[in-house]
Amino acid sequence: MKELEAITGGALGGWMARFKSDGRSSHPAPPAGTKCDNCETELVGHYCHACGQEAADHHKSILHVTWEAIEGMFHFDGRLWRTLPWLFVRPGTLNREYLDGKRARHVPPFRLFLVSLLLFILSAETVIHKAVHDAQHPAGHAAPAGAAHGEAGKAAHGEAGGAASQASAEAAKELQEDGVLTVGKDGTKLRFVGPSKDALTKDKAKAEWLTTQLNKAVATPGYFMAVVFGWGHRLAVFLLPILALALAGCYFYRRKFFMYDHLIVSMNYLSFIFLLWAVVLILPRPVSEIGVLVALLWAPVNLFQTLRGVYGSNIFGAVLKTGVVWVTTQMAFVFLLLGLLWLGLSQI
């Protein structure tokens, strides 16, 4: 038992003390003359300047190895706890430092973007799965009071509607290919200006295809969601160049900023958006509405802070450009969402 406590305590202590807040190793520096275990180069500091391997004891506990596996996937270290608060409350400073070359203290933007996107997709998938499950397995199946009277009223209304439809059908006998509509028993003819028969046939085929695919999606919601989320993370990447181009268009006169700079800003801002909505989606029902309202207000405010901090815009200019970039990204998101749904329907 004492050995287990010692192993656990040592692992947790090593995990908590492995990195400082700026991402540097907190292990003691190796003695002078120590050689790298990997390439046998004499060490100067914590890391080998030849191969980059850390000079540390590699005999570790199971908990330490587990943490290293997680860290290897997401590269979570001391930089994460410095980057995340700044991403939410000081986005301008975060981007400005990274563009100025102070990068070792922060999580790389593209890695942060990918992890944030993954967390957002997992949160959205969980919420949608729960909504589908609740819809398929409602709590009560009893029909509400007065349902029988409602059905009777619908039946009567349907009969009346059927009679009206029959009268309309008798009034308009046929639709000719040349666009002539014969109306009434006296043979009075009215010129019908509208789509041709081929166009109507194509529209009918499209409507039938959409109805068929929607029925498939309703019948197999799990497969439909799998297809949609399979394409979701791919299409989300398209938001990066769209946002970067919007920033480049707003700041085309700032020659010192290149497309690379706009992409870095876009990655960090989209990471903030994905993380924010990932949290909002998993909030419990009583506070979810407040969370949605906070997210809708916080997103443009964060963009305003980013533009002020990175590009040095004055308040009026930052407000104007925030509006332009915000509207552009929202339109792009809507079009990508529609494209995502179309891809999902076309592949089920």
Residues 96-151: tens digit of each pLDDT: 999 988 888 888 898 889 889 989 988 988 888 887 777 777 755 444 544 444 55
Residue in the block written with tokens 């039946």: 155
Residues 245-295: tens digit of each pLDDT: 999 999 999 888 999 999 999 999 999 999 999 999 999 888 888 999 999
The pLDDT > 70 percentage for the chain reads 68
Residues 188-235: tens digit of each pLDDT: 555 555 556 677 777 778 888 888 888 888 787 777 777 777 777 777
Helix axes 78-89, 91-99, angle to 10 degrees: 120
Euclidean distance between CA atoms 20 and 321, whole angstroms: 38
Is the per-residue pLDDT at 42 higher than 60?
A: yes
Tokens of 59: 């005999």
Higher pLDDT, 280 or 21: 280
Euclidean distance between CA atoms 202 and 156, whole angstroms: 35
Q: How many other C-beta atoms lie within 10 A of the C-beta of residue 114?
A: 17
In this structure, what are the phi and psi dihedrals at residue 20, rounded to the nearest 5 degrees?
A: -85, 175
Helix axes 197-219, 315-346, angle to 10 degrees: 90
Report the predicted TM-score, pTM, of the whole model to 2 decimal places. Answer: 0.66
